[in-house]
């Protein structure tokens, strides 16, 4: 796991690269390095350990030059050391490269290059790139990098500079994330947009096998055959001071509205098209391990557990791996069987929750492989996991989690499809449909947020009720649990969530006019049964809000006399929350959003302190 940055302009490249590396430190921190071009020479600074050491080094001795590349390393090939730190140089010291990813054929390339007379200084896979560029260079750096890249197998985002070319910064990627930041008379490269957000809000998100030739005045993107590629700049939606409320009344409200763009950031570099495989770098799992998993255990607390429960469903259904889900505080009580091939997936926004951290340690001690789905970079859980899938939600300030939930669900959906793709357990047609549904989700989320006034109208009808019940079946049972948790924690309305199948086994006794029921009844495998449950509740005078797909005509006919007028809600849901149609397994990604808005507006109408609900803390670091 590594981070790369680069800068070309008129300011000191080492300072800008260093600031970018600071924001990429979550990607690795066992060594760092910066190379700059100054007076047609490459100057390189490397340190072992975290970036404080680089800061000290740059303070002690400046590294001038207005073209540079930087790297923060998470060792994969070769131990953390100065020799193994990037940037790596060619034999003649004229070409420097930084690389994030893993080159699968580096051993063959290394032997070949050695036989041609190249000498290697490190044990890394990356060093071959510097030597390949040197080998192919005939006066044109871009052509040399393209020839080098054509020899590579594996994953890479590469930044490259040349001592004799002080006016160009080259970058290329395949399966590892890369963005190019757009400035006025200066430009940037980085592993993620957060690294350069302080400098610019406009980036090009680079795709596989695209090469960028970046000068002070422009950016040329081409394919490996030098065909030009037109790309719309992506405007980074979150401000440099993303932790500010930005015009919203409450952080929770702002964070609910950030979700479509946060989804896009989470997808960047992982899923770009239905025809391309999902990529997940740095999750610390080999293809053979993923093929060999025999059991998965999801563990987390609260909202994060609800996302984990979506994962329990999907890993079983799509990746065909027997999957369990336990609250972190309960996992050890059960003393689960862990054998070879057991993967534990820990979900946490903060990465610091005490019960979750303890569950992680217990699972590791039992010999499970542990990966985590985390928001806060470099948090304790992230550091102690074998691999991390960051959800890329940006800072979440509101105590009630919203965007982190949605992005945990999205990351877990991507992970499940990634596993399914590697294991070959999901038919290609279904895989395409699910990928298409995920790619459509950010736009659908925007559409859902435009319907906020409809939710406010519903909230106005129910906010005085003392009790609520949320019902669903299948993959949306966790959505019901999350909707109910959101309502109770910020409005203090007593709310319960049940599988609708459980109603007749007890909870239906609670139904009466003062308890409103929210039923998730989107057309899909459980639709018919949900309709039956809605009728049972309506028959007992329970006020009902139903969540259904746009264009569902049947739901409002539920049990009604077909001759009754449409506003006769005697046996129909009293109110509707309409959601854009999507695939069943992807639907929790969208259904959570109106339920967050419903909880928010009910709490707002009740005049509650939404961002600081009573008795709750954002991060629970005690058991
Ligand atoms: C509810 C909420 C909590 C957290 C839980 C775990 O809105 O935010 O239920 O989900 O405390 O926290 P993390 O995800 O930080 O481990």
Question: Using 50, 70 and 90 to split pLDDT, how confident is the model at 443?
Answer: very high
pLDDT at 540: 81
Structure tokens at 599: 């909880």
With a 6 A CB cut-off, is 476 part of the ligand 1 pocket?
A: no
**Tens-digit pLDDT profile for residues 328-363:** 999 989 999 999 999 999 999 988 888 999 999 999
160 classed as catalytic: no
Of the pLDDT bands very low, low, confident and very high (cuts 50, 70, 90), residue 76 is low
Q: How far apart are CA 407 and CA 441, in angstroms?
A: 11
More confident residue, 376 or 418: 418
pLDDT digits (tens, 9 = 90+) for 205-225: 898 899 999 999 999 999 999
- Give the angle 72-74-80 at the CA atoms, nearest 5°: 95
Nearest-angstrom CA–CA distance, 309 and 478 = 6
pLDDT at 559 over 60: no
* Token pair belonging to 115: 């036989």
Residue 299's DSSP bridge partners are 326, 346
Which of 299, 301, 311, 352 to probe ligand 1 with, by most ligand atoms within 8 A of CB?
301
Q: In terms of Cα–Cα distance, which of 154, 118, 155, 111 is closest to 133?
A: 118
Residue bearing the CA closest to ligand 1, atom 16: 348
pLDDT confidence tier of residue 562, bands split at 50, 70 and 90 = very low
- CB of residue 379 inside a 6 A radius of ligand 1: no
Average pLDDT along the chain = 91
Confidence tier at 385 by pLDDT (50, 70, 90): very high
In this predicted model, which residue has the larger pLDDT, 254 or 159?
A: 159
pLDDT at 75 over 80: no
| Cβ(303) – ligand 1 distance below 6 Å | yes
Would you state the CATH architecture of domain 452-605? 3-Layer(aba) Sandwich (3.40)
Query: Is 527:497 a contact under the CB 8 Å cutoff?
Result: no
What pLDDT score does 241 carry? 62
pLDDT confidence of residue 405: 98
Find the catalytic residue in 46, 213, 618, 623.
618
The reply to whether ligand 1 has any atom less than 6 angstroms from the CB of 299 is no
Write the DSSP assignment of 151-179 as a string of letters. Answer: T--B-EEEEEEETTEEEEEEEEEEBS--E
3-241 shares its CATH topology with 251-445: no
Say which CATH superfamily domain 3-241 falls into: Aminohydrolase, N-terminal nucleophile (Ntn) domain (3.60.20.10)
With beta carbons less than 8 A apart as the criterion, state whether 25 and 31 touch: no
pLDDT at 567: 47
More confident position, 3 or 167: 167
Domain boundaries, the chain: 3-241, 251-445, 452-605
Neighbours of 621 (CB within 10 A): 12
The minimum-distance atom of ligand 1 relative to the CA of 405 is 10
> Is the pLDDT reported for residue 619 higher than 80?
no
- 619 ligand 1 Cβ < 6 A: yes
For the stretch 563-588, pLDDT in tens is 544 444 556 788 999 999 999 999 99
Measured in degrees and rounded to the nearest 5, phi and psi for residue 221 equal: -110, 130
Quick check: bond before 23 cis, omega within 30?
no
Measure Cα distances from 339 to 291, 371, 611 in Å. Answer: 15, 16, 43
Q: Which atom of ligand 1 is nearest to the CA of 399?
A: 8
Check whether 47 has a pLDDT greater than 70.
yes
Kindly give the distance from the C-alpha atom of residue 476 to the centroid of ligand 1, in angstroms, as a whole number. 19
Environment class of residue 128 by beta-carbon count within 10 Å: exposed (0-12), middle (13-18) or buried (19+)?
A: buried
| Length reported for the chain | 623
Is 618 an active-site residue?
yes
Distance CA 69, CA 306 (A): 41
The pLDDT > 90 percentage for the chain reads: 75
Per-residue pLDDT reduced to its tens digit, 462-498? 999 999 999 999 999 999 999 999 999 999 999 999 9
State the DSSP code for 232: P
Q: How many CB atoms lie within 10 A of CB 53?
A: 15
Q: Which atom of ligand 1 is nearest to the CA of 408?
A: 14
The percent of the chain in helix, strand and coil, each rounded to the nearest 5, is 40, 20, 40
Could you please state the CATH topology (level 3) that the domain comprising 251-445 is classified under.
Rossmann fold (3.40.50)
pLDDT score at 571: 63
At 1 the pLDDT is 52
User: Cβ(302) to ligand 1 under 6 A?
Assistant: yes
Check if 356 has its Cβ closer than 6 Å to any atom of ligand 1.
Answer: yes
Q: Distances from the Cα of 542 to the Cαs of 133, 511, 536, 545, 574, in angstroms?
A: 71, 6, 9, 10, 9
């Amino acid at each position: 796991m590594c981070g790369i940055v680069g800068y070309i302009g008129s300011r000191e490249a080492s300072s800008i690269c260093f600031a970018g590396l600071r924001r990429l430190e979550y990607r690795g921190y066992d060594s760092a390095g910066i190379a700059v071009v100054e007076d047609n020479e490459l100057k390189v600074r490397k340190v072992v350990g975290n970036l404080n050491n680089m800061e000290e080094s740059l303070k002690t001795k400046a590294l001038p030059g207005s073209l540079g590349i930087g790297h923060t390393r998470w060792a994969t090939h070769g131990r953390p050391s100065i020799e193994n730190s990037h940037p790596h140089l060619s034999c003649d010291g004229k070409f420097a490269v930084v690389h994030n990813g893993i080159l699968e054929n580096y051993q063959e390339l290394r032997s070949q290059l050695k036989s041609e007379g190249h000498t290697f200084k490190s044990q890394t896979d990356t060093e071959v790139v510097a030597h390949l560029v040197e080998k192919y260079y005939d006066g044109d750096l871009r052509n040399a990098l393209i020839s080098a890249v054509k020899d590579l197998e594996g994953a890479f985002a590469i930044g490259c500079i040349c001592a004799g070319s002080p006016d160009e910064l080259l970058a290329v990627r395949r399966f590892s994330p890369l963005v190019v930041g757009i400035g006025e008379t200066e430009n940037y490269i980085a592993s993620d947009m957060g690294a350069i957000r302080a400098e610019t809000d406009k980036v090009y998100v680079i795709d596989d096998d695209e090469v960028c030739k970046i000068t002070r005045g422009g950016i040329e993107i081409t394919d490996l055959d030098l065909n030009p590629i037109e790309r719309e700049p992506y405007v980074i939606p979150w401000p440099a001071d993303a932790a500010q409320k930005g015009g919203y009344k409450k952080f929770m409200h702002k964070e609910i509205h950030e979700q479509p763009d946060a989804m896009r950031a989470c997808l960047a570099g992982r899923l770009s098209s239905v025809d391309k495989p999902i990529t997940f770098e740095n999750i610390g799992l080999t293809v053979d391990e993923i093929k060999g998993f025999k059991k998965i255990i999801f563990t987390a607390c609260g909202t994060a557990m609800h996302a984990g429960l979506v994962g329990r469903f999907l890993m079983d259904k799509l990746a065909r791996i027997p999957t369990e889900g336990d609250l972190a505080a309960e996992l050890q009580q059960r003393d689960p069987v862990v054998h070879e091939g057991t993967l534990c997936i820990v979900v946490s926004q903060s990465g610091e929750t005490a019960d979750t951290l303890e569950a992680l340690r217990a699972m590791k001690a039992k010999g499970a492989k542990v990966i985590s789905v985390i928001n806060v970079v470099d948090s304790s859980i992230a550091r102690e996991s074998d691999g991390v899938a960051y959800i890329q939600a940006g800072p979440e300030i509101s105590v009630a989690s919203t965007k982190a939930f949605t992005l945990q669900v999205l990351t877990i959906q991507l992970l499940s499809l990634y596993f399914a793709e590697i294991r070959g357990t999901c038919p290609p047609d279904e895989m395409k449909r699910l990928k298409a549904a995920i790619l459509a989700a950010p736009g659908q989320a925007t559409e859902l947020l435009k319907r906020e006034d409809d939710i406010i109208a519903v909230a106005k009808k129910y906010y005085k009720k003392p009790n609520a019940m949320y019902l669903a079946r299948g993959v949306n049972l966790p959505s019901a649990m999350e909707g109910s948790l959101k309502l109770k924690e910020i409005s203090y309305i007593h709310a319960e969530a049940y599988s609708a199948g459980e109603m007749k086994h007890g909870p239906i006794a609670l139904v009466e006019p003062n308890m409103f029921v929210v039923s998730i009844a989107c057309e899909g495998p459980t639709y018919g049964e949900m309709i039956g449950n809605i009728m049972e509740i309506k028959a007992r005078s329970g006020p009902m809000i139903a969540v259904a797909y746009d264009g569902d005509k049947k739901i409002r006919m539920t049990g009604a006399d077909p001759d009754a007028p449409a506003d006769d809600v005697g046996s129909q849901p009293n109110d509707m929350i309409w959601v854009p149609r999507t695939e069943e397994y992807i639907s929790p990604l969208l259904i959570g959003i109106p339920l967050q808005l419903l909880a928010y507006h009910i709490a707002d109408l009740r005049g509650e302190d939404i961002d600081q609900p009573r008795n709750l803390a954002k991060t629970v670091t005690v058991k």
